[in-house]
Chains A and B, each alone.
Chain A
Amino acid sequence: MDGKKTALRFLKRLAAITLLCMLAVAFVVVLFDPFYHYHGPLPGMQPVLEERDYEVIGTIDHFDYDAILLGDSLVENTNTRWLSELFEAKAVKAIRAGGSNADLLFYLDRAYEAGELKQVFYCIDRAVLCADTTLTFPENDYWYLVNRNPLDDWKYLWNKDVLLKKIPIQLAYNTVLDYDPGEAYDWYRTKTFSTESMKVYYEPQENFDEAQPVPAEFEENLALLKERISAHPETVFYLFYPPTSLLSWDKELREGGLEADLAMIRRLSTAFADCPNVKLFGFFAAEDYAATDHYMDVVHFSPEVNYAIFEDMAEGRCTLNSTSVEDELDKLKGMIRDFSGDKISGIYPEAVTAEAAQLP
């Protein structure tokens, strides 16, 4: 009987102390909330944003902002401080590397649920616009942060990485280490931007494939984007087709994607003509930005290019519309003819150069 009593007392105490320990851990996580799932940064603390997929949604839900930068890894190195200087925008970044228009629009919808937006900066590159129109968030990884189901929050509240890595690093960046929250999720520090470094990522194929049609998703994605733009006439949408490297254009030419790219840009130039709250920009034909020494691989350019394009947008350069588009496309075709028909041999001596018949 004594043994039974002792065992019951042990079980009760064990349950109580375990509950206490678990609640203590949960309290610490809720308090510091490194993924900003419950609240924004604590008073006196600056945000620490290092884990893009885990932190973007919390940033959108709980930060104080009036503008949002949407895009993939191409705009990840943008410092939100620049948007403040150039557009007087208090912006947050909503980046989805390799993501899709659907994911970015999901972020945009959440931002509107959180409050009003004065400006939206949206990088509409080829990958974003041709992506599948369904969400790509993985259900098993960090979905518990994205959905609004409190029942799966335990994955966050009792999480070893959150407790032993994210909270201490948040405290360290707020006390002893330097940190610029505007540079959230940047990746450029460990990369080299030069022709030499980018050329290892690309090998021009010898043959030139047949021209591909414009993917069906393009029109669907345009429609989805336009739906949001029309629903929010109070917001100014800065839509921009980002700089594209000469190697990337060469790749498109060889793989048969160039004609579709040109058609998409042409379509883009008229798609938002009836939306007075859209400012459309195209950096695809800017020779300076296409130069190979600005890139670390075929598509990713340096933060200097990021700054320059926002400066251009602020000053109204590189706008794209139905009247300017043909000139811009002619410039682009000239650049491609010049590069793929001749200059590419300077980078790849073995490469087969494009003949007049293949050039745009």
Chain B
Amino acid sequence: MLFNSAIFIFVFLPLCLAGWYGLNHFGLYRPALWFLSISSLIFYGYFHPAYLLLILASVLINYGVLRAILRFRKASKLLLALGVLANLGILGYFKYCDFFLSTVNGITGSNIPLRNILLPLGISFYTLQQLSCLTDAYRGKESDYRFDEYLTFVTFFPQLIAGPIVLSEELIPRFRDLSLRRFDAESFASGLSLFILGLAKKVLVADLFGRVVDFGFEKIYWIDTASAWVVGLCYSIQLYFDFSGYCDMARGLAEMFRFPLPENFAQPFKAFSIKDHWDRWHMTLTRFFTRYVYIPLGGSRKGRIRTAVNIFLVFAVSGLWHGAAWTYLIWGALQGVGVLWSRRKFLRLKPGVLSWFFTFSFIVASQLIFRSGDLDFMRRMLTAMFTPKGVHFLPELASCLAEAPEFYMITRAAEALAPGALNALYLILLALMLLVAALLLRGRNAAKLCADAKAAAYPKRFIWLLALLFTAVVVSLNQVSTFLYFNF
């Protein structure tokens, strides 16, 4: 089920909220938790019922290992290793099997048939989440959870498909706090506001920029330098509004249930260095890799060279985690190099326009690698970006906006009244889109907007903004599109 679908907004969510608060109202606290986890499984299985078997198997295996770690402390290291192997084995099979086979085929010239395994949604997210839980138990943190608590923690639908990556210590204690089981208008109002803003970011902004990106990649053989940079810019904007929009929705939904989720974005395009960017972008992933990969590898405690290797490794692994393709690995490795660069004092620029510009350009170019999917597309896009090929394709790129409902009448009118000015109009529309996106990126983020509105006792203009955005989103629901982060 998609957050931006009618079935979710008008059927699933109201029923789920009513069931949750209804059961809790009558003191049925444990059935309420079961209700929430079963609802979450319905939400998950709606995409593809067969995925349910995998997620349930994964939960059962991990819960079994968790209990074993708590019970057999002396063997906890071995049990943790088994748990990690099981998780990585499942993830490896479903996500990396074909990548591995095609790489072997490429290197050896063999022709091993690919398995064409359908990647189960959210597998990367719930695998990391459960790995963190096992590791915390091994480290002696409070992890004595009941099965219904653990199941709800893993499957809680707002964060199940694409994060934020939540730790058990953040969620399960709140499940246990029965004072939070009562409906609270303040939490609900905050959550609803954030959910609507997130919906609008995804549906109204990200999907519009997605048109330009898809068209650019469709026409990759004709693309020139200016167009490649514009496609890169549009993709960075699309990715940010798509993923941060999803996270805002997730946080908003969780807030409606009175379970706040951690923030995942802090205005990443304002960063002055790549390290700064990664402190602001997908923060819960950075936190996971720092806690559970970087620090166990030795972190910065074993000398400069080892630190550099650790950083590079963490980002390379993060790249592969995002997708099973060489482009993801290259993207991750580049991020590692960028972070290492920004850690060296003599290479680092002082925070200012120049450092912002280089950081932003680096992010835009590297995110195009992320989008490319295969090495040939990556090569073509980077060649277009970094070799002078002019601007002749730009009007055609912008012309893909002609069919966007938002601009349809303007372009049809221009077609009838001034066909000679059409190309100029397309370019103006594209420039306007970029300008609006820049203003949105410069302004307050969704969470801050909601917090400020709450502090100001929800002024009328904020209520009108939400109502108009929600109406615009509902009107756009016939053009349901898939979230970019679902397949990572």
The answer to whether A14 touches B409, judged by C-beta atoms less than 8 angstroms apart, is: no
* Residue from B185, B412, B466 whose CB has the most chain A CB atoms within 10 Å: B185
Question: What are the residues of chain B within 8 A of A18 when measuring CB–CB?
Answer: 466-467, 470-471
B192 at the A interface (CB under 8 A): yes
Q: Which of A82-90, A164-172, A268-276, A300-308 contacts B (4 or more CB under 8 A)?
A: A164-172
B6 at the A interface (CB under 8 A): yes
The answer to whether B470 touches A160, judged by C-beta atoms less than 8 angstroms apart, is: no
CB distance from A9 to the nearest CB of B (A): 8
Known: A22-B474, A161-B478. A17 touches B188 (CB 8 A): no
- Alpha-carbon distance A163/B471, docked complex (angstroms): 12
The answer to whether A154 touches B458, judged by C-beta atoms less than 8 angstroms apart, is: no
Question: What are the residues of chain B within 8 A of A7 when measuring CB–CB?
Answer: 185-186, 188-190, 454, 458
Known: A160-B478, A172-B412. A14 touches B405 (CB 8 A): no
**Chain A 16-35 interface 0/1 with B at a Cβ cutoff of 8 Å (1 = within):** 01101110010000000000
Question: What are the residues of chain B within 8 A of A8 when measuring CB–CB?
Answer: 185, 189
* Residue from A11, A155, A159, A160 whose CB has the most chain B CB atoms within 10 Å: A160
The answer to whether A164 touches B409, judged by C-beta atoms less than 8 angstroms apart, is: yes
Q: Which residues of B contact A (CB under 8 A)?
A: 6, 184-186, 188-190, 192, 405-406, 408-409, 412-413, 416, 454, 457-458, 460, 463-464, 466-468, 470-471, 474-479
Question: What are the residues of chain B within 8 A of A25 when measuring CB–CB?
Answer: 471, 475
Question: What are the residues of chain A within 8 A of B470 when measuring CB–CB?
Answer: 18, 21
- Alpha-carbon distance A292/B468, docked complex (angstroms): 56
The answer to whether A165 touches B478, judged by C-beta atoms less than 8 angstroms apart, is: no
Known: A3-B186, A6-B457, A11-B189. A163 touches B463 (CB 8 A): no
The answer to whether B405 touches A11, judged by C-beta atoms less than 8 angstroms apart, is: no
- The A interface is mostly helix, strand or loop, or mixed, namely helix
Question: What are the residues of chain A within 8 A of B468 when measuring CB–CB?
Answer: 21
CB distance from A199 to the nearest CB of B (A): 28
Which residues of A2-57 are within 8 A (CB) of B?
3-4, 6-11, 13-14, 17-18, 20-22, 25
Please list the 7 inter-chain residue pairs (A to B) with the smallest Cβ-Cβ separation, ordered nearest first.
A10-B458, A164-B405, A7-B189, A7-B185, A17-B467, A21-B471, A18-B467
The answer to whether B464 touches A160, judged by C-beta atoms less than 8 angstroms apart, is: no
Question: What are the residues of chain A within 8 A of B478 when measuring CB–CB?
Answer: 155, 159-161
Question: What are the residues of chain B within 8 A of A159 when measuring CB–CB?
Answer: 475, 478
CB distance from B417 to the nearest CB of A (A): 9
- Alpha-carbon distance A354/B6, docked complex (angstroms): 59
A339 at the B interface (CB under 8 A): no
The answer to whether B405 touches A165, judged by C-beta atoms less than 8 angstroms apart, is: yes
- Alpha-carbon distance A168/B410, docked complex (angstroms): 10
Other-chain contact of B467, A9, A21, A169, A176 (Cβ < 8 Å): A21
The answer to whether A17 touches B409, judged by C-beta atoms less than 8 angstroms apart, is: no
The answer to whether B479 touches A168, judged by C-beta atoms less than 8 angstroms apart, is: no
The answer to whether B467 touches A11, judged by C-beta atoms less than 8 angstroms apart, is: no
Of chain B, the residue at the smallest CB distance from A16 is B467
Question: What are the residues of chain A within 8 A of B406 when measuring CB–CB?
Answer: 164
Other-chain contact of B6, A3, A20, A154, A169 (Cβ < 8 Å): A154
- Alpha-carbon distance A164/B475, docked complex (angstroms): 10
CB distance from A145 to the nearest CB of B (A): 12
A177 at the B interface (CB under 8 A): yes
**Chain A 247-270 interface 0/1 with B at a Cβ cutoff of 8 Å (1 = within):** 000000000000000000000000
A158 at the B interface (CB under 8 A): yes
Question: What are the residues of chain B within 8 A of A10 when measuring CB–CB?
Answer: 189, 458, 463
- Alpha-carbon distance A8/B457, docked complex (angstroms): 11
Which residues of A151-187 are within 8 A (CB) of B?
154-155, 158-161, 163-165, 168-169, 172, 176-177
Known: A6-B457, A21-B468. A11 touches B188 (CB 8 A): yes
Of chain B, the residue at the smallest CB distance from A3 is B186
- Alpha-carbon distance A112/B474, docked complex (angstroms): 36
Other-chain contact of A160, B460, B463, B476 (Cβ < 8 Å): B476
- Alpha-carbon distance A68/B381, docked complex (angstroms): 53
Given A14-B467, A18-B467; 10 other pairs, CB 8 A cutoff: A4-B185, A6-B458, A9-B458, A17-B464, A22-B471, A22-B474, A160-B478, A165-B405, A168-B409, A169-B412
Of chain A, the residue at the smallest CB distance from B408 is A165
- Alpha-carbon distance A164/B458, docked complex (angstroms): 30
Question: What are the residues of chain B within 8 A of A14 when measuring CB–CB?
Answer: 192, 463, 466-467
Question: What are the residues of chain A within 8 A of B458 when measuring CB–CB?
Answer: 6-7, 9-10, 13
Question: What are the residues of chain B within 8 A of A176 when measuring CB–CB?
Answer: 416
Instruction: Name 15 interchain pairs, CB-CB below 8 A, sorted by A.
Output: A7-B188, A10-B458, A11-B185, A13-B458, A14-B192, A14-B466, A18-B470, A18-B471, A21-B470, A154-B6, A160-B405, A161-B478, A163-B405, A163-B475, A165-B405
CB distance from B166 to the nearest CB of A (A): 25
Known: A6-B457, A14-B467, A18-B467. A160 touches B475 (CB 8 A): yes
CB distance from B75 to the nearest CB of A (A): 50
Of chain B, the residue at the smallest CB distance from A6 is B457
- Alpha-carbon distance A29/B466, docked complex (angstroms): 22
CB distance from B65 to the nearest CB of A (A): 42
Of chain A, the residue at the smallest CB distance from B464 is A17
CB distance from B82 to the nearest CB of A (A): 45
The answer to whether A13 touches B409, judged by C-beta atoms less than 8 angstroms apart, is: no
* Residue from B6, B190, B457 whose CB has the most chain A CB atoms within 10 Å: B457
